[in-house]
Amino acid sequence: MIGIDIEQEKIEIIRKYRTLLRHAKPFLQSDDAKLIRKAFNIALEAHKGTRRRSGEPYIYHPLAVAHICVDEIGLGTTSIVAALLHDVVEDTDIELEDIENDFGSKVASIINGLTKISGEFEYGSSQQAENFRKMLLTLSEDVRVILIKLADRLHNMRTLDSMPRNKQLRISSETSYLYAPLAHRLGLYAIKSEMEDLVLKYTDGDTYIEIIKDIDATKEVRNRFIKRFIRPIHKELNGCNFKFEIKGRPKSIHSIWTKMNKQDIPFDEVYDLFAIRIIIETPLDNEKSACWKVYSIVTDFYKPNPDRLRDWISTPKANGYESLHTTVMSNDGQWVEVQIRAKRMDDIAEKGYAAHWKYKDTAASQESGLEQWIDKIRELLQQNDMSAIEFITDFRSNLFQEEVFVFTPQGDLKRLANGSTALDFAFEIHSEVGMRCLGAKVNQKLVPLHYVLKNGDQVEILTSEKQKPSEDWLRFVVSSKASQRIKEGLKEEKKVIAAEGKEIMLRKLKKLKIDPNNENFDKLRAFFNVNNQLDLFYKMAKGFIEVKDLKKFKEDSSKVNGRKKIGKITDAKSFEKEITKIRKRKEDILLIGEDMDLVDYKFAKCCSPIPGDDVFGFVSVNEGIKIHRTSCPNAPELLSNHGHRVVKAKWASKHQEAYTVGLEILGTDRVGLINDVTQVISTELKVNMRSISVDTDTGIFEGKIVLYINDSKHLDILITRLELVSGVVKVKRFDYTPDDEPVKKQA
């Protein structure tokens, strides 16, 4: 073990603290430095002797979080104090009352929002979701809770190397599922981009490294191109006496990866790898005209693409983002995105919500979009009858949505989520208007409730006192507000019916000798595919669930599938306990291929993993452990909401089975192409095919082949060999999902 130099660490702690104070100095008031010093000393003493997984003193973490709050978000003294103390209540003997006595109720309230809920949780519930909801509840009082949490999460992602693999996956998935979208919604683009890049690093490390290498390899060429591109613009802006700065920046690794996946293209075909940003210093009342003047200068030199003009200056995004975007054709025949904005706009784009306060007095109207969104979230938070998981799902629907801009009959602008209907608009006006909505007039024409609104529509809502909400309405609203109000309107009647259904179900369960406990109700919910117990009892009362269905549930629950299953597994901890007991050694990892006789596990149909894939196990409610690929489309949600049910898993070296995998082959059609492809598969590499389908159209060959593969290395060799076949342009894997359980046979 490497020796620890305690004295050197003390020097480093003081250095980090002084750097923090120096960076915060521009906005510190008279006694602020003393307050920060007091918070630092308390945190230093509270975390004394505690170390992070990396071996570093724990105090490095709160200091780093405070640095991010100052340098990257632009927060002040209260946030610095809260950041330094954010873990003391959760991890040490210090109580919330102590914080309130020393630093006041505001700091105590922020730290309370950042402190995880302790204690046991019901089987089937989500501690992660409960903690996230608790943190968001403080949003109604102080947005700084969320901003400090984002700083905390960013530092955790930056230092994730020292964590075990299952925790890397869980923390990365939470970040992509909740925190990166939240940073985006609050306008923190730099933090959102870095979070997404780090998520890719830990969920698909090979791709992450590949893209970095490709970016580095093209750096010199790119820099030369940027210099040539901006030279005439720079000269003209100087001639017009603009005070300005021009930056050329590559796209984030994650956005390049997203584009490669979405358009199904390799790195060298991603043409808009970078954007040029022009930032001008100009008075507030001159910003708009100055930005359009710069746009005119840019388009004097380069031809713009009329379909790629985005004016977020006239109509800012809901998170406050303002900028003028255009894509122009360079003299080299390459498309380049150009972003034009004022210095104030750039501050808001980089530091989001926190930057609004800096300009609040001079540009109060500019923050209305963000304030409106936060008001909507506050309304959502007041609905306490949702489960935490339902809350998170609802909350997420408010994050990564594009917007549609529509007008009232009086000409007032309303921002709604893209895909909103006339009924969403009615609820946006007022809950009672929504509940009584009969129809709408859009641009003076009658339209039904489910009419999807388009930018520029002028909407008038028609109401009737006799109108009542129906369950059908839930199918064509996209906003949380509308959905919640409709559910509330339906819930009272539903509760009465569900109460009858509960009595019926309890009688039936008693007859079938099924214990009516929470665990069995969770299994019943999973079996009948309903979200909550209210829906379960409602279905029972309405006759959608019959006695024969309950009997089928009992039979399925009691099946052992001929395996000697180890004891009861409900989460990762119980799995570790049982697997350690049976192996007679401390181990918490599922060995796929060797543990089939010990543990009831299956391969998830949603991603069809094969040996060699990076995988994890997930303890399902009533189907044992499901094995998922880390790149599975369902992974972020599973890992974010139910991290306590994630089990480490790896392929056993003795594994000798073949798994079904799908390959898509694209190429130019020619005589004998299919024969050459099947020759490589069956004759050269001795791979068995399950099915093959081929489609040719105007000289383009598209084939889908399902094969039996031993492992991912076997698959890589096959793909490489197929790509060498004359006429084949591209070969890629797709997730083959058979109708029944994935086929396995001896290789």
Does residue 226 lie in a domain region? yes
Is the domain of 458 the same as that of 498? no
Is the domain of 40 the same as that of 69? yes
What would the mean pLDDT of 84-112 be, rounded to a whole number? 89
Per-residue pLDDT tens for 335-370? 888 999 999 888 888 776 666 555 554 444 444 556
Q: For the range 512-520, what are the long-range contacts, defined as Cβ-Cβ under 8 Å and sequence gap of 24 or more?
A: 512/550, 512/551, 512/554, 514/550, 514/553, 514/554, 518/122, 518/123, 518/124, 519/123, 519/124, 519/570
Grouping H, G, I as helix, E, B as strand and the rest as coil, residue 138 is: helix
Which of 627, 651, 675 lies at the terminal end of a domain, its last residue?
Answer: 651
For the chain, give the longest Cα–Cα distance. Answer: 89
Is the model's pLDDT at 692 over the cut of 70?
yes
pLDDT for res 280: 95
pLDDT for res 92: 85
Per-residue pLDDT tens for 261-319? 887 788 877 766 778 999 999 998 899 999 999 999 999 999 998 888 989 898 887 77
> For helices 105-114 and 96-103, what crossing angle results, to 10°?
150
Q: Which residues make beta-bridge pairs with 577?
A: none
CA 557, 563, 566, 572 dihedral sign is: negative
Per-residue pLDDT tens for 43-68? 999 998 888 888 899 999 999 999 99
What would the mean pLDDT of 433-439 be, rounded to a whole number? 90
Chain centroid offset of residue 504 CA: 41
Is the domain of 240 the same as that of 341? yes
Is the domain of 528 the same as that of 629? no
Lowest mean pLDDT of 119-133, 148-162, 729-743, name the range.
119-133
Q: What is the CATH number of the domain that holds 666?
A: 3.30.70.260
Q: Of all helices (H) and strands (E), which one includes residue 130?
A: helix 127-137
pLDDT for res 43: 93
> For helices 127-137 and 144-158, what crossing angle results, to 10°?
140
Does residue 643 lie in a domain region? yes
What would the mean pLDDT of 631-654 be, rounded to a whole number? 80
Residue with tokens 């308390």: 42
Burial (Cβ within 10 Å: 0-12, 13-18, ≥19) of residue 663: buried
Q: What is the CATH number of the domain that holds 262?
A: 3.30.460.10
pLDDT for res 62: 94
Residue 743: pLDDT band by 50, 70, 90 thresholds? very low
CA 96, 88, 69, 191 dihedral sign is: negative
Could you give the number of structural domains in the chain? 6
What would the mean pLDDT of 2-11 be, rounded to a whole number? 79
The reply to whether 130 belongs to the active site is no
Q: What percent of the chain has pLDDT over 70?
A: 83
Max mean pLDDT among 2-6, 111-115, 136-140, 328-332 falls in: 328-332
The reply to whether 522 belongs to the active site is no
Does residue 473 lie in a domain region? yes
pLDDT for res 117: 54
Domain region containing 498: 488-558
Structure tokens at 583: 């192996």
Is the domain of 475 the same as that of 492? no
pLDDT for res 202: 92
Is the model's pLDDT at 14 over the cut of 90?
yes
Residue 11: pLDDT band by 50, 70, 90 thresholds? very high
Does residue 544 lie in a domain region? yes
Beta strand 589-592 pairing with 646-651: parallel
The answer to whether 451 and 422 are in contact (CB under 8 A) is: yes
Max mean pLDDT among 178-182, 417-421, 448-452, 666-670 falls in: 448-452
pLDDT for res 409: 87
Grouping H, G, I as helix, E, B as strand and the rest as coil, residue 155 is: helix
Is the model's pLDDT at 237 over the cut of 50?
yes
Q: What is the CATH number of the domain that holds 405?
A: 3.10.20.30
* 547/555 Cα distance (integer angstroms): 12
What would the mean pLDDT of 463-488 be, rounded to a whole number? 84
* 424/74 Cα distance (integer angstroms): 36
Lowest mean pLDDT of 162-171, 494-503, 619-628, name the range.
619-628
Catalytic residue among 9, 12, 56, 91: 91
Max mean pLDDT among 290-294, 319-323, 389-393 falls in: 290-294
What would the mean pLDDT of 520-549 be, rounded to a whole number? 83
What would the mean pLDDT of 513-531 be, rounded to a whole number? 80
Is the domain of 156 the same as that of 18? yes
Catalytic residue among 5, 31, 45, 90: 90
Is the domain of 259 the same as that of 338? yes
Does residue 211 lie in a domain region? no
pLDDT for res 120: 42
CA 351, 354, 355, 356 dihedral sign is: positive
Is the model's pLDDT at 169 over the cut of 90?
no
Other CB atoms within 10 Å distance of the CB of residue 284? 12
Structure tokens at 606: 């949603």
Average pLDDT, the chain: 81
Lowest mean pLDDT of 181-190, 538-547, 572-581, 722-731, name the range.
572-581
Which of 609, 627, 651 lies at the terminal end of a domain, its last residue?
Answer: 651
Is the domain of 64 the same as that of 134? yes
Lowest mean pLDDT of 239-248, 522-531, 589-598, 644-653, name the range.
589-598
Residue 198: pLDDT band by 50, 70, 90 thresholds? very high
What would the mean pLDDT of 236-256 be, rounded to a whole number? 89
Is the model's pLDDT at 140 over the cut of 70?
no
Which of 203, 232, 262 lies at the terminal end of a domain, its last residue?
Answer: 203
Is the domain of 32 the same as that of 122? yes
Going from the C-alpha of 265 to that of each of 257, 270, 426, 661, 729, the distances in angstroms are 10, 7, 42, 21, 11
Is the domain of 376 the same as that of 509? no
Does residue 644 lie in a domain region? yes
Is the domain of 509 the same as that of 523? yes
**Number of residues written out for the chain:** 747
Is the domain of 199 the same as that of 284? no
Does residue 565 lie in a domain region? no
* 54/234 Cα distance (integer angstroms): 47
* 549/148 Cα distance (integer angstroms): 49
The answer to whether 36 and 80 are in contact (CB under 8 A) is: yes
pLDDT for res 300: 94
